[in-house]
Structure 1
């Protein structure tokens, strides 16, 4: 057993305890906590506590609202006072990138998530356990997602009981139903329910599905043809509307089961305004444009926007979003690294977690005056900036937006201006 005080926090949000010159990483622990570590495991070169007891509470700590806190992998920082969490996020970002930036908190810290993917397994229905890929927390509620979570889960359990459909077995990789995805339009009240299953539905199954989830405005049955543990399948409309809508400021976005949309509708306004504040000129290129989240917002404010996105379905959705909002924005299918960056005033990049890589060099050679880099991965940003972008651009401004309360993650918006 190892007893000691949590002195720091790791980049991925674990409390750190030093013993004999070596660090032990403790989940759900915060600076100032006193802990007794009874067991550890080695993972990626680190010793991570798997069995520990809290014997003295940090002044940074608060009571968690969720009864599943400490087991569920969804909210590592729910036991941390919110303002202290914001401070630590800014510290981690500066430690990683060398950039000091203000952090804006989410307008709501409960019921803010607009989507939840409940895994449906023989071990339980809910979310994955922290640190255990085969462990599932059998959820009763989820206060960061929705007050209706118990209702959704009750409907699902009754539906499975009536139809006899089997939950997925994570070890054997067998079963019928793998995920239930629920999306809510936080500002429209619209609900989409999407069942991800390994079987095609019979007529009776579809009728039962419609009856149990009559609360949904849009109902999908997605056929999953692989064994990968993710909430993806071939979406088939079972009932209701093909899309639900979310309203952010004066912009309406259509949402489909296969759409990526920022998970925090309430903080999304802050993120969009930050991008808008850093955007300059008239012509804007939105690389990795997705469903047009940034591009449509900017076009609504008078910018002339062109977007490039590799996913054809996302491009289709982006153009639909431009159409329903009546804005001057055109989105095209293309690879970011093959895009001819012409006479644009501002380029917005919101790359995947791995970062820009070769696209960064493309931007350096382009001559574009201003690049706005949006990222939830500060290490990827640092790599892109230090390796490529720094040769031509300086950091003019940066702001952090807390899209992910109760977690160590934060969204960064960095304004890069070409050096003279």
Structure 2
């Protein structure tokens, strides 16, 4: 048994208790908490508390809103006061990158997520249990996603009972229904429901599916051919519109089941404004352009935008988004690392979590004056900058946007200017 006070936080937001031999990392705890740890397990070379009791509360705490807090893996920091969350995110970012940056909080901290992936398993229907890849929290609510979560889950459970379809068995890797993905247009009120399943539906099953989710703007059934535990499949429109729309300021975006869109619609406008504030000149290259989230917004503000994205479907969506907004932006299929960096004034990069890697050297060899680096992974940004970008660019400015309240994660927008 280990008894001690949480002295600080790890880079991934776990409370740290000093033990005799090695520190113990305690999820759902914060600086100032006093805990009694009854069991640990080794994970990625660390001792992670498996069973612990909170003996004394930190003054940084607030009462969590969700009944599933402390078990569900969705919200590690829901027990922290929101102002403290922002302060700690800024401190963690500076500790990792060495950059002190102001942080802008999310305009809404409840009901802000525009998508949720509910796993349908024999352990329950909901979200993954923290630290247990085979554990599922049988949800009744999700206040960070939507007030309508109980309605969505009730419809799903009733649908499964009526049709007799089997939930996915995580241990045996078999079953009929694996995930339910629900998307909401927070500013349009439109709803997309997408069932990810391993079986083709019969006519009666499809009728029941449409009946139970008749409130949705768009209803999809996605066939999943593999056993991987992720919400991906070949989407087929069953009923309603092929897309739902989201409106961010004066820009409308089309959203499809298989397209990526930033998860916090309310904070997205802050992120877009930050990117716009750092962009210079007239010609912008949007690398990793996705569905044109940044590119279409910048084109709406008078920039001439070209975008490059490896996913052909995302490129099709980006060009549709440009057309419906009537802007000067064109997107094409291509690999970022093979893209000629020509006569652009600013390059926007929003790479996957692994970072830019070899694309960094491509940028260093270019003549581009300005890079706007959007990052959800400060460690990847630091590696890209220290190993490559630092040769030709300096950090001119940075701002943090809290796209993910109640988690340790934060989105950074970093302005890099070519050295002269």
Q: TM-score range by the shorter chain?
A: over 0.9
SS of 2:23 mapped into structure 1: strand
Structure 1 counterpart of 2:31? 31
> What's the TM-score once normalised by structure 1's chain length?
1.00
After superposition, give the CA deviation of every residue in 1:165-222 in whole Å (9 maximum; x if it has no partner): 0000000011000000000000000000000000011111110000000000000000
Whole-Å separation in 2 of the counterparts to 1:186 and 1:73: 23
Structure 2 counterpart of 1:319? 319
Whole-Å separation in 1 of the counterparts to 2:375 and 2:224: 30
Whole-Å separation in 1 of the counterparts to 2:404 and 2:166: 33
1:88-103 superposed matches below 5 A: 88-103=88-103
Q: Does 1:296 align with 2:316?
A: no
Structure 1 counterpart of 2:53? 53
Structure 2 counterpart of 1:163? 163
> What's the TM-score once normalised by structure 2's chain length?
1.00
Structure 2 counterpart of 1:336? 336
Q: Give the drift of 1:21.
A: 5.2
SS of 2:158 mapped into structure 1: helix
Whole-Å separation in 2 of the counterparts to 1:85 and 1:341: 38
Q: Does 1:65 align with 2:65?
A: yes
Whole-Å separation in 1 of the counterparts to 2:246 and 2:136: 30
Whole-Å separation in 2 of the counterparts to 1:159 and 1:258: 23
Displaced runs of 4 or more, over 2 A: none
Structure 2 counterpart of 1:406? 406
Structure 2 counterpart of 1:74? 74
Structure 2 counterpart of 1:172? 172
Whole-Å separation in 2 of the counterparts to 1:24 and 1:158: 43
Q: Does 1:272 align with 2:250?
A: no
Whole-Å separation in 1 of the counterparts to 2:181 and 2:44: 31
Q: How many residues are paired up?
A: 420
Structure 2 counterpart of 1:358? 358
SS of 2:111 mapped into structure 1: coil
Whole-Å separation in 1 of the counterparts to 2:27 and 2:317: 39
Whole-Å separation in 2 of the counterparts to 1:89 and 1:10: 11
Structure 2 counterpart of 1:187? 187
Structure 2 counterpart of 1:109? 109
After superposition, give the CA deviation of every residue in 1:45-96 in whole Å (9 maximum; x if it has no partner): 1111000000000010010000000000000000000110110000000000
Whole-Å separation in 2 of the counterparts to 1:28 and 1:50: 11
Q: Give the drift of 1:22.
A: 2.3
After superposition, give the CA deviation of every residue in 1:288-318 in whole Å (9 maximum; x if it has no partner): 0000000000000000000000000000000
Structure 2 counterpart of 1:221? 221
SS of 1:7 mapped into structure 2: strand
Structure 2 counterpart of 1:84? 84
After superposition, give the CA deviation of every residue in 1:370-414 in whole Å (9 maximum; x if it has no partner): 000001000000000000000000000000000000000000000
Structure 1 counterpart of 2:380? 380
Whole-Å separation in 2 of the counterparts to 1:367 and 1:8: 43
Structure 1 counterpart of 2:390? 390
Structure 2 counterpart of 1:282? 282
Whole-Å separation in 1 of the counterparts to 2:12 and 2:287: 27
Whole-Å separation in 1 of the counterparts to 2:129 and 2:20: 30
SS of 1:6 mapped into structure 2: strand
SS of 1:19 mapped into structure 2: coil
What value does the CA root-mean-square deviation take over the aligned residues? 0.5
Whole-Å separation in 2 of the counterparts to 1:178 and 1:165: 10
Structure 2 counterpart of 1:210? 210
Structure 2 counterpart of 1:20? 20
Structure 2 counterpart of 1:239? 239
Whole-Å separation in 2 of the counterparts to 1:78 and 1:195: 28
Q: Give the drift of 1:19.
A: 1.6
Provide structure 1 residue ranges, at least 5 long, that are not aligned to the other structure: none
Whole-Å separation in 2 of the counterparts to 1:46 and 1:114: 34
Whole-Å separation in 2 of the counterparts to 1:292 and 1:260: 10
Whole-Å separation in 2 of the counterparts to 1:24 and 1:173: 33
SS of 1:183 mapped into structure 2: strand
SS of 2:221 mapped into structure 1: strand
Structure 1 counterpart of 2:120? 120
Whole-Å separation in 1 of the counterparts to 2:55 and 2:276: 47
Provide structure 2 residue ranges, at least 5 long, that are not aligned to the other structure: none
1:127-138 superposed matches below 5 A: 127-138=127-138
SS of 1:414 mapped into structure 2: strand
